Amino acid sequence: MKGLLKFITCGSVDDGKSTLIGHMLYDAKLLFADQEKALELDSKVGSRGGEIDYSLLLDGLMAEREQGITIDVAYRYFTTDNRSFIVADTPGHEEYTRNMAVGASFADLAVILVDATKGVISQTKRHARICSLMGIKHIVLAVNKMDLIGYDQKRFEEIKHDFHQLTYGFHLESIQVIPVSATEGDNITKKSDNTPWYDGKALLPHLEDINVTDDADQEEFLLPVQRVSRPNHTFRGFQGQIEAGKIKVGDEIVALPSREKAKVKSILVTDQEVEEAVYGQPVTVQLDREVDVSRGCVLTTSDQIQVADMFTATILWMDDTELVEGRNYLVKVGTKLLPGTVMSIKHKIDINSGKEVPADRIFKNELVACDISLSENMIFDTFENNESLGGLILIDRVTNMTSACGVIKHSLRRSTNVVWQETDITREIRAQQKGQKPLTLWFTGLSGSGKSTLANEVEKRLVSTGHHTMLLDGDNVRHGLNKNLGFKEQDRVENIRRISEVAKLMNDAGLITLTSFISPYESDRRNAREIIGEEYIEIYVSTPLEECEKRDVKGLYKKARAGEIPNFTGISSPYEAPKNPEVEIDTSKYSLEEATDYVVKEIMKYLD
């Protein structure tokens, strides 16, 4: 019997994916008697006039059955005399593309369906590109609903030609195009008399026979560490699944990123000690000496694995919120999770032609190439070399939802060529010289809230008490450092990132830095807090919008209401109020002197 085959069915809405797999299971006698009886009963109240509706075997959600579409990914395990299978029936609607991508990430082969009456359409192209992105090397194109076009060979050949053109350059190992009818059962489990011109195998026999094994067991040993096991003071083992190669007791390995070398003292598979372990096995590896290894590190015999803090990736954007440059996410590669920033959007990829299209923002279900910067070095490889260390996901730091999935193309040269230069005079020495604790006082609030006036008064009060300060005002900085930035979302993100880096440098100089910026987005303020560190003190000037409009010293609100200023915070662009600022004050309730007294009193808690 051949090894387990994991495959997905995908394609556009109503192309017959669930019906195809359901009919395959039914015809191959792979259902229990109660399942078969339930199917026949459910079909009587279904949408096929009492005839068996094979899609009901996989469409388990009530919403799916009511709408006649697949929403969730349905997994089924079945076994024939020749092979065992796990199939993921994925949704075809564009709204649920992220669900389809999840299914594709586990599969060795994809069965892509097209409606013979429609041919290759946009969603078919999107799914084919996602399958290629996810590393699927074997594709079966099932041209479904052949019965509706009278089993026309000419139309079948046209669709076959279109698909081969689409997948040119995908680096696939096999493409098999099969004419089928999911409802009538043509070419699903056995050859159909309705397509005498088709000389290939039916779908199920093809799936039983195809060879999808790779040579991962022949590669260099690779173990991403998931957990450090220390049940007692005498044992320290590193646990994880072997993602490539094999390992024996006595072999020398390298621990990344520290690059320390050690020899394998013992190997455990479950609780059994073994001499050798191979690709795919979960193991506990004990080394002959202490090395610096924790979750996210990698044990390997290869010298090709990269360690860097910047790389280029191709990702599928799956978030309802659009992607812009400068946004900060959690980046997960292998077992390592780090904060990271999308530094630049290089281009998006047209799903129809595959061409590179210039873009400055990316919307849901679009493919994009981008540069990503990490908070520290990460161990990775290109996806072509190793899927476990070459695949990544981006996680929204507020909702914890997966915003994107994708693959690493290459590291950025400057990430390894540019090295941090340590200096003898440290932040601590500079701070001690000035006799103060460096802080960044981050004033945020709407235009007209009084944050600049308040920041100015607070700085005067601090200077009068002998502190060394520097005030960075939003308008002033835009006259120089950020002169090239506008007020679109991506420009606002970059504006705050630059100021955060400057504030950090000034803290390194031993200064107390005061910043006065609208900084409307919670994610950007969180990014600023991460860049600056524990010295970041957020002061929310919470003056209501109505009061800010009354003040309108610069006449900006009036212009914004008249439509003369686009992307104006509070009017045509959102302000996300801080949830847990260190200090909050509404300047409409206090005089300037009272407000200054209050803020200085609060920040002294952090200066003492």
Question: Which amino acid makes up residue 427?
Answer: R
For residue 452, say whether it is annotated as part of any ligand binding site.
yes
Token pair, residue 533, equals: 């560190």
* CA-to-CA dists, residue 441 to 436, 453, 495, 496, angstroms: 14, 14, 17, 14
Residue 410 neighbours by CB distance under 10 Å: 12
Nearest residue to 13 via CA among 139, 118, 150:
118
Strand partners, 587: none
Active-site residue (options: 18, 519, 542, 573): 519
Exposed e or buried b per residue across 100-121, where buried means at least 16 C-beta atoms within 10 angstroms of its C-beta? bbbbbbebbbbbbbbbbeeebe
Nearest residue to 407 via CA among 139, 192, 132:
132
Contacting residues for 47 by C-beta, under 8 A, at least 6 apart = 53, 68
For residue 445, say whether it is annotated as part of any ligand binding site.
yes
588 carries an active-site annotation: no
Please tell me whether the peptide bond between 520 and the residue prior to it is cis, using omega within 30 degrees of 0. no
Residue 530 neighbours by CB distance under 10 Å: 15
Q: How far apart are CA 65 and CA 450, in angstroms?
A: 57
Q: Where do the H-state alpha helices sit in 369-488?
A: 387-390, 413-417, 427-434, 451-464, 474-477
Give the DSSP letter of residue 387: H
Q: How far apart are CA 425 and CA 429, in angstroms?
A: 6
| 220 SS3 class | coil
At residue 160, what are phi and psi to the nearest 5 degrees?
A: -60, -45
Half-sphere exposure of 444 (CA within 13 A, CB side): 28
Residues annotated in the binding site, as ranges?
A: 445-452
Active site residues: 519
Residues annotated in the binding site for ATP, as ranges?
A: 445-452
